[in-house]
A = this chain, B = another copy of it.
Amino acid sequence: MIQKQNIYKSRQGQVYDWMAREGISLLLIEDTEGRRDSNLRWLSGMPADALLFLSVERKTLLVPWDINLAKLYGQVDHIRAYAEFDRLPVKACIKAAALLKIPHGSRIEIPGGTSYPRFLRFIEALTDFDIICRDEGGAGTVLEQLRAVKDVEEIRIYRRAAEITNEIIDLLEKQLRAGKIKTEYDAAQLIQGECRKRGCEGTGFETLAAGPVRSMMIHSFPSYTASPFGTPGLSILDFGVKYRGYTTDVTLTAVMEPVKAQERLIALTEKAYKLALGMVRPWTAAADIAAAVDAFFAKSGKAMPHALGHGVGLDSHEGPALRNREDNNWILQPGMVITLEPGLYDPRLGGCRLENDVLVTEEGGETLTASRIIRL
């Protein structure tokens, strides 16, 4: 437990240091319905539904929706129930400033995602303070950067999460070959059951299982149904397990009796995946890898309708972005855990995607998960 506390103290410490440099006296983090922010859990251990205040004097105040849950999980200095403040962030902020003795005139940073109308309410209610709300260069940016590089404890968690994921992939392949998975639902249910059995909190996001008639969608809707899976054509299965808060994210494609044009989609996807993996090494620009894959597909007259990949962690999508866009400035660093997920989709042929989680190391990329094209 002491070790665990130290992790949170150390994370909070990095933020305090940044606050001191930026002249921020009080920082508000909010994770509530409609405004999810995993920075809450990363900084305090509280899994969800709370406000967290950090003062530059190195004190934390947690304002949870559920006080019992907060007492179990919160690695903080003070806890006060959100109900005390009528569950109003502005009201909680006024009291937090008093409790944490924030001097009048100093700067309070609120989440960059704060809506314009709510921003106005903060300004009106906290006239004695300088309210800061920014996305670029603010606390959100700093926390995104800090979280993108996983620490030793997080990598340990990832290795276990990947092990569980790989056991499930093997089981899926076995059951597919045995004809025991007949529908999208069968595949999704197997994943849900097997991950919970192994101590996971659940899946990291809703499993996407799309049989041959639906796999042309990037994200099938509904996410899975009772329709056939693993039958002739291309079936896509995109899932992740959530272990101690951290989610994996993999996609396998099951192929049966492919026609020539489907074989071509598969071959291009596999080649794109290898191309991307070969480029993973520290200090490479993430956008360059994505651009290389887009160029590779373009040469064959194909286009991928989504990004090449993204970081994973407490969120299933977090930094770094592996996206071919001018404003993507992410540089790979040792300790980052990223997905590579090239895919091609055709309304007539269906879709093919291959996705694994890769740890960026000093030497290059270490593939943690073992997803693959499964030929039935």
Contact = CB atoms under 8 A, between A and B. Distances in A.
A217 interface: yes
A189 B197 contact: no
Interface in A1-43: 33-34, 36
Contacts of A136: 117
A81 B218 CA distance: 13
A356 B247 CA distance: 33
Interface residues of A, number: 53
A66 B305 contact: yes
B36 A34 contact: yes
Interface stretch (A67-75, A150-158, A229-237): A67-75
A49 B219 contact: yes
A217 B66 contact: yes
Contact of A68 (B114, B133, B345): B345
A325 B83 CA distance: 11
A83 B221 contact: no
B305 A217 contact: no
Contact of A114 (B73, B86, B116, B218): B116
Contacts of A197: 185, 226
Max chain B CB contacts within 10 Å: which of A114, A117, A305? A117
A223 interface: yes
A93 interface: no
Interface string A131-153: 00111100000000000000000
Interface in A196-248: 196-197, 199, 201-202, 206, 216-219, 221-226
Contact of A217 (B68, B118, B193, B224): B68
A135 B112 contact: no
Contact of A118 (B135, B189, B224, B225): B135
B202 A68 contact: no
Consensus secondary structure, chain A interface = loop
Contact of A69 (B73, B192, B201, B221): B221
A329 to B, nearest CB: 15
A69 B224 contact: no
Contacts of A221: 47-48, 69, 73
A189 B217 CA distance: 27
Nearest to A345: B68
A86 B325 contact: yes
A69 B208 CA distance: 14
22 contacts: A33-B317, A34-B36, A34-B113, A48-B221, A49-B219, A68-B347, A69-B217, A81-B305, A112-B116, A113-B115, A114-B115, A116-B119, A189-B189, A189-B192, A189-B193, A196-B224, A196-B225, A197-B226, A199-B226, A202-B206, A202-B223, A202-B224
